[in-house]
Amino acid sequence: MAKYSTGSGGDSAGGSCELCGSDGGDLQTANVAGATLQVCDSCARDHGENERTTGNDSSRDEQNRKRKAAQNAAKLQDAQRADTSHWEDGADYDDDQLPYLVSKYGERVTEARQDEGLQTSELAEELDLDDADILAVEQGRATQANVGGSTIKALEQYLDIDLVESN
């Protein structure tokens, strides 16, 4: 039967393993599930989170964990930045930036389109725009959908409405 300790420690020569209870042999300090225990070599290999922990080793292990966590975070960020699969070939959104839009711009577009007697798909076809872009504008999510300024300008001109905030 295993014997558990509150970490009152003592000397590592002799005594019994605090995990398996085996008597005799040299014991070593190991971190097991967050607890510092005196364990035999076998239990240290099987259950210890780090080998032969001493004061210096413990701080070194903590530094290594932090360094590895930072490296993993950096790798993840680099991978996300490098993923260009969702970009269109040749698209340059800097040349077609979305201007500041008036409050409730989506409602204005919807009302104006309905006044013209057009469905969303008909308006998109008339302006040679994507249905999804028109729908995004009408739903007030032009920014999230990456709708370009040229789409807003085309809607303003065709529907004779103001969507851009005047300074």
d(CA 67, CA 15): 37
Residue with tokens 């210096």: 56
Q: What is the dihedral of CA 41, 42, 43, 44, to 10 degrees?
A: 40
% of the chain at pLDDT higher than 90: 29
Q: Where are the domains of the chain?
A: 1-55, 94-159
pTM metric for this prediction: 0.44
pLDDT band at 130 (very low <50, low <70, confident <90, very high): very high
| CATH architecture classification, 94-159 | Orthogonal Bundle (1.10)
Tell me the per-residue pLDDT of 76-101, one tens digit each, with 9 for 90 and over: 666 655 555 555 554 454 567 878 88
Give the number of other CB atoms < 10 A from CB of residue 150.
Answer: 15
